[in-house]
Amino acid sequence: MTEKPQKSPVLAGVVGCPVNHSLSPVIHTIWAKRAGVDGYYIPIEVPPDYDEFARAMDSLRTVGFAGVNITIPHKENALRYADSVSENAKQTGAANMLTFSEEGAAAENSDIIGFAEAVREKKSAPGMSALVLGAGGAARGVLLALKTLGFTDIRIANRTIERAKELAELFDLTVIDWTKKSEAIDNIDILVNTTSLGMSGQPPLEFNLSALNPSALVADIVYAPLKTSLLKDAEDKGHATVNGLAMLMHQAVPGFRAWFGADAKVDDELRGELVKELARRGKS
């Protein structure tokens, strides 16, 4: 009797520099266990240089990786490396996913889906007006997500106004002076912080929420700490909030489905495990 060849485990991972802080391995490991999938999701540190990145991707493809998530500072490197690029990745100018196949490496940006789904969890009818703080790579994904959700009046404020003007031209936005950001929220439906302000080890985000519509949603893409000063202030004033953990979980879904071939569910059990992991790391 001929024995059936054993099927190799699915291999995937997250690439960045540094990368050991990432919660993505925790998320994918939980989902793989739930689905009964024989697979491994590994953190892979690669120096910032593009040539180093390209060599690492070639090696991962050679050993049979199904794909990888990409984090700072390699999101633009991933776009450059890819053989095919999705429309979302093109518009953001960055990719947080590479999927490997015989046809090559396909780049995607699931941050857009991640933020949109995190907002839908909290607000089924998000309204029309938004103020986005920050004009970096993360802001681009958030802006596209807001467009997907139907927002038509989007304002942007950034400490360097020139960068805000660049995005305003690309996405048809209204530029708000950074020093007057707290005065531009009286009729908005969602406020989103995409800056590093409020993150562990960074200065706090100084923002006066007094003029904010009581029904407005407040979102912060930071997840360390889980509740930034902005989100604490918003909750104290009765606003619904979205933290960076929600976006992180939802952006992981497309990668898991593509690479591990199984369903991935964002729920309270997963959220609870991630909160415990952040507490273990002293970052909750």
Per-residue pLDDT of the chain (284 residues; tens, 9 = 90+): 444 445 789 999 999 999 998 999 999 999 999 999 999 999 999 999 999 999 999 999 999 999 999 998 999 999 999 999 999 999 999 999 999 999 999 999 999 999 999 999 887 556 799 999 999 888 999 999 999 999 999 999 999 999 999 999 999 999 999 999 999 998 999 999 999 999 888 899 999 999 999 999 999 998 889 999 999 999 999 999 999 999 999 999 999 999 999 999 999 999 999 999 999 988 76
Point out the residues that are catalytic: 75
The residue ranges of every structural domain in the chain are: 10-109+248-280, 112-242
What are residue 218's DSSP bridge partners? 191, 241
The pLDDT value given to residue 201: 86
Domain 112-242 sits in CATH at: 3.40.50.720
The pLDDT value given to residue 122: 86
The pLDDT value given to residue 127: 76
Could you tell me if 242 and 217 are in contact, meaning their C-beta atoms sit under 8 angstroms apart? yes
Which pTM does this prediction carry? 0.90
Domain 10-109+248-280 sits in CATH at: 3.40.50.10860
Question: Rounded to an integer, what distance in angstroms lies between the CA atom of residue 168 and that of residue 157?
Answer: 10
Could you tell me if 142 and 115 are in contact, meaning their C-beta atoms sit under 8 angstroms apart? yes
**Centroid of chain to Cα 58:** 25
